[in-house]
Amino acid sequence: MKTKTTMKTMITNWRPLRRALCTAVLGIAALWALPNNARAQLYVGQRMTGIVSKFDATTGIVINTDFIDNNAPPYGLALSGNHLFVTSLRGVVEYNAATGTPIDFIVTPQQTSTAIAVSGNQLFVAGDVGTASGSGTVGEYDASTGATINAFFITGLNRFYYGLALSGNTLFVANLDGGGGRVGAYDAATGAPINADFITGLNDPVGLALSGNHLFVANFAGSTVGEYDASTGAAINARFISGLSEPFGLALSDNTLFVSNRLTNTVGAYDATTGAPINADFITGLNDPVGLLVAPVPEPSPWSMIAAGGVALLAIMLRKKHGIA
């Protein structure tokens, strides 16, 4: 027959194990609540193959080399929820951002779509509608249905240009202009020019990226990335990053600015505050990288949050019931 002293000893010895079990349950619940890919993801479009690859934006480790075969140069990438929009030769293809499965094809008059940007239900598509100078346009489309809102939202642009970026109600457009280039600012609601020469004296501007009031511009022919005031267009540092190799696409993740280099087939990572390299060869072995996009860390689903909370509450109740310290 067990004595009271023996029982007390068994209970005392059992407490650490129960404490460990409760801790394990809480840990499992927390892990279960996280999505499968709980890190920011970097999408890279490669011109020569038409492939969009997916990488871990923190480590540069490949997630899926052949995530999407776009069958056309993916110059522009844009994300709206779980919908990934990619430029094509005749318009824009919409894909499931998690699986890469095609959803829809948005037909545009632009013979070669080069850049896209999305804001809420507005999808802007830049490209050529002809062969003559001045035939470049930006069209506006419904991001949910693909319906045309205004195919000629902005007109009269140079034929070769690749960059779009949105800041509030301002749409910035990179426009190559006779070997130089400029960035124009337009009203995102009406398409009316705010300042068609918002930034001038550039060297084949292509990729654009915004961080607060800082507008970054990739100068393809100048092998630099410049930093400008997004309110005034004034140069903060026209050579914010230099020594690049035909920089094309830009994308931001927190304080990291990613730059695709077409000549070296790399994507570099730089400090978005100082321009200092974090890793100039963050991703290598690409095939003419152009469009870049960072998908932020996905939020846990409501059901997984509820389940995790329920398990955690149960563990707390058990701890109180059994007097676990």
The answer for 291, left when phi > 0, alpha when psi is -120 to 50, beta otherwise, is beta
Distances (CA, A) of 67 to 43, 85, 95, 244: 9, 13, 10, 27
Cα–Cα distance between 189 and 67 in angstroms, integer?
A: 34
DSSP string, 213-270: TEEEEEETTTTEEEEEETTT--EEEEEEE-S-SSEEEEEEETTEEEEEETTTTEEEEE
Question: Which amino acid, 147?
Answer: A
pLDDT, tens digit, for every residue of 292-318?
999 987 554 444 445 445 544 555 555
Class of the 41-295 domain?
mainly beta
pTM: 0.81
Question: Which residues in the chain show pLDDT less than 70?
Answer: 1-38, 131-134, 159-161, 178-179, 298-325
What pLDDT, on the 0 to 100 scale, is given for residue 32? 45
Which stretches of the chain are DSSP H helices?
A: 4-33, 302-321
Q: Is residue 230 classed as helix, strand or coil in its secondary structure? A: coil
What pLDDT, on the 0 to 100 scale, is given for residue 36? 47
What pLDDT, on the 0 to 100 scale, is given for residue 237? 98
What pLDDT, on the 0 to 100 scale, is given for residue 307? 47
